[in-house]
Amino acid sequence: MNIDEQFEHFLAGLGVEMEQPEDRQYSGDSIPEISIFQASRDHYGVFYRLDIIDQRPELRIMLPVDKGDAKMDIYLVRLSERTPLNESFVRMSMYEGSGAYEQGRDAALQHLLYAAAEMMKQLFWSGDVQSMAFPPEIEVYPILVQAQRHNGKKWAH
């Protein structure tokens, strides 16, 4: 069972049913090449998960809310195809360099991920979660949005 299936099972125990939209443009089945967790320095109670998945940076933003059983909303943020930074991750992952380069690859990818995540955070916070309006350089997907009702059941994106 992967981490997304475990999370869905956890939410089911809380009475939250995950919605599975047909048009979802990402898959939670890939294993991260690198994962980093951070607490926000600028937003109280906010946590970030930074990943490189399928040679692409991903940022999950966990926001505290005063509704629902989980008391948090989660959004997935990815760089849009229009940003050149995506290509850097692909090229770094595919490049086979010297022994010294290979030894430092993970550290370099982590630093590159931190830089990309800082950009994605800034773009996310300049957008509007309520209307799901964000700058065109990022794509934002609601993963878990609490306290909405559908046919008497709680559900989340």
> What are the backbone angles phi and psi of residue 22, rounded to the nearest 5°?
-65, -30
Number of H helices, E strands in the chain: 3, 8
Query: Residue 102 belongs to what domain range?
Result: 3-21+29-151
List pLDDT tens digits, range 34-81: 888 999 998 989 999 999 988 899 999 999 988 878 889 999 999 998
In-domain check, residue 157 = no
The vertex-107 CA angle with 105 and 111, nearest 5°, equals: 115
How does residue 157 score in pLDDT terms, banded at 50, 70 and 90? very low
Backbone dihedral angles phi then psi of residue 85, each to the nearest 5 degrees = -65, -30
Statement: the pTM of the whole predicted model exceeds 0.75:
no
In the chain, how many domains are there?
1
Length of the chain: 157
50 inside domain: yes
**Does residue 137 belong to any structural domain of this protein?**
yes
Is residue 156 assigned to a domain? Answer: no
Question: Is pLDDT of 125 > 80?
Answer: yes
What per-residue confidence (pLDDT) applies to 29?
Answer: 67
Q: How many CB atoms lie within 10 A of CB 129?
A: 16
Strand order in the sheet with 148-150: 16-18, 153-156, 148-150
Token pair, residue 123, equals 């773009």
pLDDT reported for residue 67: 82
In a domain, 86, yes or no: yes
